[in-house]
Amino acid sequence: MTDAAANTPRKKSSIYATDANTKKRNAREARFRAFGLTAIGIGIAALVFLVVSIVGNGYNAFRQTYITIPVELAEQRLDPAGNRDPAEMARVTTFGYAPLLAQALQQHLQAEGIPMDGVNPRDLMAMISQEAPAQVRAMVLANPEIVGQTITLEMLAGGRIDGYFKNRVTLESAERDSNVSPAQLMLAEAMAAAGIIDTRFNWRFITGPDASGQRPEAAGLGVAILGSLYMMLVVLVLALPIGVAASIYLEEFAPQNRFTDIIEVNISNLAAVPSIVFGILGLAIFINFAGLPQSAPIVGGLVLTLMTLPTIIIATRAALRAVPPSIRDAALGLGASKMQAVFHHVLPLAMPGILTGTIIGLAQALGETAPLLLIGMVAFVREFPDAPPEGLFDPTSALPVQVFNWTQRSDPAFVERASGATIVLLVFLVCMNLLAVMLRRRFERRW
């Protein structure tokens, strides 16, 4: 400010009257506030739209239609030798079981007095899921004693019948559908009225394994959830100690020179490397070079560890840097060694930040799909893995890959399954974030 400007007398004015300059500034501020509010509004609207569309599509995956009828497990069909030897009974394939179920359904409908107008026995069988005979067979082989008895069975209804009760399939759409006829749907309606068909919560979706493209009604997430869980276990066990140790060394002990500068730049860059590159790396190193099995959670976990490490290191270093240097001075001034200063005073103060970073890293890893495709986790896996540690080497699927897989299948019933799987994935992420918040609260000491 020059002297001349400082000495220019201000024009006399009332503070009640807003002058032009002030008006302009106020208008600018109002505009900026409006922009901010609009931006937040768009964000919230996008989020709401996303959640509503996913939940709207996906909640049906958590309900499933079952047909409950008494079935006579005829001995001459299931155990022709009559000796209840599971090895011999295993020779009867699902094709031996299917007619049994169809017959039982037909008899039950007759007994209930429900007419089967326009539905021939083959169509009637098609109303039961192809998965049902396999389930009954597994049940019989596990417990041969029930052969010869008449027991009440809950069987999965076919995908189209299930869709009818979820409003996915209508009488009109059935006319154009070669897989289902309006007559079958009418019959299903009558069966529902008689209490033979009902729709209820679908535990199988969460606990059961995946099913083939023709049996969407049987598809579940069990293997994928376990696979994702195993991978998170591997990531947590490897990435947390390695990441925290690396950060503490770099931040507190390493000398500041060209070498550590290069490491620092590289860590920051690694965080931005596309995840599929980590997949290629994993394929080359862990599978081709180290010879680890394909589709195994251990390989997925290792790849995701590599991917998560930079995130954890960056977050941990930021948390360590945020601890005031006066605390370090205080400890060192008392004659604490550098390590005592770090582990007794700095690390506890940095803990909330470290945990948040780790959980954000884990959440990122949980949702990662691309690198898993390259190491074979996209395979169709129905076998549950063993308990860890052996199970880490068994083939599994993963949640995001399962979503990817299901969206590629042709049967429209998989749309709801994929959305349902997304809901499960989101619930997992929300739970992890809640955990992060809780741990933060717990460790954060505002003294």
Partner 1 sequence: MNDMRVVDRAVDAQDLKIDAKNVDVFYGTTHAIKGVNVEIQDKTVTAFIGPSGCGKSTFLRCLNRMNDTIDICRVTGDIRLEGEDIYHAKVDPVQLRAKVGMVFQKPNPFPKSIYDNVAYGPRIHGLAGNKADLDEIVEKSLKRAALWNEVKDRLDAPGTGLSGGQQQRLCIARAVATGPEVLLMDEPCSALDPIATAQVEELIDELRSRFSVVIVTHSMQQAARVSQKTAFFHLGELVEYDDTTQIFTNPKDPRTESYITGRIG
d(CA 338, CA 131): 64
**Is 200 near partner 1 (CB under 8 A)?**
no
Backbone dihedral angles phi then psi of residue 421, each to the nearest 5 degrees: -65, -35
| Closest separation in Å from C-beta 328 to partner 1 | 8
Residues within window 290-309 making contact with partner 1, judged by CB under 8 A:
none
* Residue 203 amino acid letter: W
Stretch that binds partner 1, among 112-120, 210-218, 341-349, 360-368 (CB under 8 A): 341-349
Residues within window 342-401 making contact with partner 1, judged by CB under 8 A:
344-345, 349
C-alpha of 123 from chain center: 36
**Is 250 near partner 1 (CB under 8 A)?**
no
**Is 447 near partner 1 (CB under 8 A)?**
yes
Nearer to partner 1, 56 or 348 (CB): 348
d(CA 174, CA 172): 5
| Closest separation in Å from C-beta 358 to partner 1 | 22
**Is 327 near partner 1 (CB under 8 A)?**
yes
Identify which of 403, 390, 395, 400 has the alpha carbon closest to the alpha carbon of residue 379: 395
Identify which of 325, 350, 351, 328 has the alpha carbon closest to the alpha carbon of residue 340: 328
How do 63-72 and 197-201 pair as beta strands?
A: antiparallel
**Is 441 near partner 1 (CB under 8 A)?**
no
Stretch that binds partner 1, among 44-52, 276-284, 333-341, 404-412 (CB under 8 A): 333-341
**Is 122 near partner 1 (CB under 8 A)?**
no
Count Cβ atoms below 10 Å from residue 139 Cβ, excluding itself: 14
C-alpha of 232 from chain center: 12
**Is 324 near partner 1 (CB under 8 A)?**
yes
d(CA 115, CA 134): 28
| Closest separation in Å from C-beta 251 to partner 1 | 13
| Closest separation in Å from C-beta 333 to partner 1 | 4
Q: Where are the alpha helices (DSSP H) in 59-167?
A: 75-78, 86-89, 94-112, 121-126, 131-142, 159-165
Residues within window 255-274 making contact with partner 1, judged by CB under 8 A:
255-256
| Closest separation in Å from C-beta 317 to partner 1 | 17
Stretch that binds partner 1, among 20-28, 90-98, 100-108, 320-328 (CB under 8 A): 320-328
**Is 335 near partner 1 (CB under 8 A)?**
yes
**Is 166 near partner 1 (CB under 8 A)?**
no
DSSP 352-382: HHHHHHHHHHHHHHHT--HHHHHTTTTS---
**Is 333 near partner 1 (CB under 8 A)?**
yes
Beta carbons of 144 and 86 less than 8 angstroms apart: yes
**Is 337 near partner 1 (CB under 8 A)?**
yes
**Is 5 near partner 1 (CB under 8 A)?**
no
Interface positions with partner 1 (CB under 8 A) = 255-256, 324, 326-337, 340, 344-345, 349, 445, 447
